[in-house]
Structure 1
Amino acid sequence: MSTAVLKTTSDPLGGLLDYGRLVRGILRNYNEAVVGLLERDGFRLDIHSDLRVWRGIMQTASGTDGINPTFDPDRSGEPEDAYVLHVHDRDGRTAAMMCGRYIETDDYHDYVRRGLLWSPASAARPVETLLHEPGPSGRLSHCGGLWVDPVHRGIGLSWLIPRLNHAVAAYRWGVDGIVGVVFDRLLSKGVPTANYGVPDVRLCVDGWFWPTGKRERIYQTFTPADFLIKRTWDDLEQIRAGGDKKMRDFAPIARKRNDKAPVDDLATVP
């Protein structure tokens, strides 16, 4: 029996495909396609590694409910790694922002219960949650902090930027999944599932929530890596097949005549 046959028998895919390289290629091509889609509408994308860039702009941004401590290192501690997606319009003004924060944990539900999304490990403030079973684990990205300038709402940025954020996190960190939290008022409008493309949404908090100082209904979102890659590939195919189409032609909420209310509330995403 030849050595080639022996190699095939022990490793059917040996030498045929490098799946890690294949996945990164899909993510890279998607990211490049999204940059092109943004440029088609006159936008430019920058990526910063300091979350304080996001915080600084949010301090004076219109239509926000305050600064989310998850993406404020002075309140929740310095993350192991993080980034800010910063979209500028053709005049150089900030049109949209969103963040990714790297988390490595054996149990994300426990991570949330300990309050580590909103407070530093050295002075953790626990949060009472409804999720007591083990949660997502491994290399994760907590994605959130989406803000879209009111001038640019309703054109598809709230659809494109969260999906780009997931792809950037997957490319940058090789994550096992994307986690996030969203308030009830956005979930009721279908924003996490329709716009963000999130497959797993569970009620996490139903009661007092110290980061906002009031009672809240908050949901945890989870997008596993395999679902993310398939969705990214599907979106890439749509963008490629779309020719000269713009963001609003792809975004489900932007296509609706009544999109103003849900898009205007995007600053409330934790």
Structure 2
Amino acid sequence: MLEKRYDEALAAYEQAIALNRMSSGAWIGKGTALNNLARYREALGVFEIACSMSPLYATAWVGKGNSLAGLGQFSEADSAYEAALQLDPRNSMALAGKSKNLITTGDPDTALQSLELAIAADPTNLALLTRKAEIYETLGRYQEALDVWNSVAINESDPDLARRGKAITLVRAGKKDEALALFREVLALNPGSGILYEQYGDVLALSGDTAGAENSYRKAMEIQPNLTGIVLKIKALESVQKETPLGIFPILSGFFIGYVLLSRRRG
């Protein structure tokens, strides 16, 4: 599963650093693996080292931006992405990071424009194409989003990503049962995946089942304690249950929980 591959990558980069602590590429690789594992605080420390070692390396600044965004520090993340773009104005991942921040902070139309620039710079980048599907979903253009998630290219390259994205879109389109069925089937086959339980929790939360979402998040933490972003998702759910005003807890891990809070506040 994905978390196993990320753990293996992390171990490999740590070994590379042990052999050569001056390898900025190894530090960047370690930081990227930590970001993929949602260990954003650790990743930020690693990217601070990478940026100090190689301040002219745009990839290091992008990684730092991703860590900061994962921690909910969106303004600081945007500054890191801007530093990357100063070095490489067509850096697709910096543009994509800025786009994701704009989604999280509630400006999806501008986010789509930023993402189109990123795709123009890197038209074959699968991550950018799937981000575009997420923005379509945010804008309520559900069929366009589903067309992206259902594409052969995405499903063959990263079926986990396609499943989660499609499920989120289905929920937003009012097709909750179809969305939940996607995860029940795959969890029956892969009961030891913490990331799958976290994603299932996202879908349950968006569906309005806060108790089920919390149970799924806690199951994910039992399986993989290093998924630290889940703690913030649980706090967000608790704020919903207590009808705490939006914003008292930073929503650090994905904008889908933000949807839940926004929906409750508007209700």
TM-score range, shorter chain: under 0.3
Give the structure-1-normalised TM-score. Answer: 0.24
Q: As a proportion of its length, which structure holds more strand?
A: 1
Higher relative contact order (CA 8 A, sep 6+): 1
Structure-2-length-normalised TM-score: 0.24
In terms of fraction of residues, the more helix-rich structure is 2
